[in-house]
Amino acid sequence: MTVPLAATASVSAAHLSAHEALRRARPIYWSVRRELWENRWVYIAPAGIAAFILSVFLASALRQPNRVAESLTVKPSSSIAVLADSGLSGPMVLMMATLLIGLFYSLEALQGERRDRSILFWKSLPVSDAATILAKALIPLAVLPVLTCALIVATQLAMLVLGSGVLLVTGSDPGAAWDAFPFLLWPVMVYFVVAMTLWHAPIYAALLLISSWARRAPFLWATLPLLVLTVVERHTLYTSYVTGFLAHRSLGFFNEAFAVSARAGENADRLPFLTPGNFLTSPGLLLGLLFAALCLIAAVRLRRKRDPV
């Protein structure tokens, strides 16, 4: 049986295409590993915060076992309560911490290598400026979100194991904590982290651009113009458009990614409904991603021309 020549050529072309894709992705992969090696605090700090949350939970369990046992066996009134409850899981604490880590990393990523003159060594390697910028952008846009979700799940599981021990000591059913915890909210948590990351992508990209451009004090260049604009607008035009824009770019993803409504007869309980279609087609997200792409392109061009400071 003979194989048609066209089929053989098609398989060979597909194989070559896959090999070429792997070859192009390899520098980005090693560049990401290099970033994590040079900036160990990017993953050590969130892990330390998760350990601190776990230690606080353990201390509370040792001092007030009955109160902790009662909180573990009560089902949360809403999924937002689970996301915000630092006593049981603390996911919001980890999310906000990794958000700040991503902001500080983006602001320091490119200016730091020019300050310590390591840019001369890295430019001597066969890695393009585009691959370097993309690798640096992947830290806040991919590595930190994955790390955040993993730490939240690990912390919650550790708390549930400890909580089972507390329930056993207090004479309650150890499985009550596992029955009360809504595991189905983990997909909601992942969706929340992804939506927040995509919404904040233009902020990370803008900070990378400032880090590539500024010769000194990138933090001042990132914050001072916004502060001046806010003050000038407030005292000259008596408006607050800049403040409103900053608030929308910081927290506006929630209204786009979730539809929040109140249950009938429960004024305090609020249930979020996922609206990925509305979020992915929202002008704020699309324009933000376009702005992020332009900022990264500009950062690549600046890195080619910038010398050590």
Q: Can you give the residue ranges of every domain in the chain? A: 21-305
pLDDT band at 42 (very low <50, low <70, confident <90, very high): very high
Cα–Cα distance list, 277 to 36, 128, 182, 287 (Å): 34, 36, 25, 16
223 vs 242: CA distance, rounded Å: 13
Residue 245 has pLDDT above 70, yes or no: yes
Mean per-residue pLDDT over the chain, rounded? 79
Q: What is the mean pLDDT of residues 80-103?
A: 71
In this model, does residue 78 exceed pLDDT 90?
Answer: no
**Percentage of the chain exceeding pLDDT 70:** 73
For residue 76, pLDDT over 80 is answered with no
Cα gap 306→286, rounded to integer Å:
30
Q: What pLDDT was estimated at residue 265?
A: 41
- Structure tokens given for 163: 């909580």
Residue 157 tokens read as 């599981």
The predicted model gives 187-193 an average pLDDT of 89
Q: Helix 129-138 crosses helix 201-213 at what angle (to 10 degrees)?
A: 130
**Could you tell me which residues come within 8 angstroms of residue 158 by beta carbon, excluding any fewer than 6 positions away?**
54
pTM above 0.85, yes or no: no
Measured distance CA(202)–CA(208) in Å, rounded:
10
pLDDT above 90: residue 56: no
What is the mean predicted confidence (pLDDT) over 91-104? 90
Is the pLDDT at 205 greater than 80, yes or no? yes
Q: Is the per-residue pLDDT at 101 higher than 90? A: yes
pLDDT tier, 57 (very low <50, low <70, confident <90, very high otherwise): confident
Q: Name the most confidently modeled range: 25-39, 111-125, 170-184.
A: 25-39
Q: Is the pLDDT of residue 267 over 50?
A: no
pLDDT of residue 266: 45
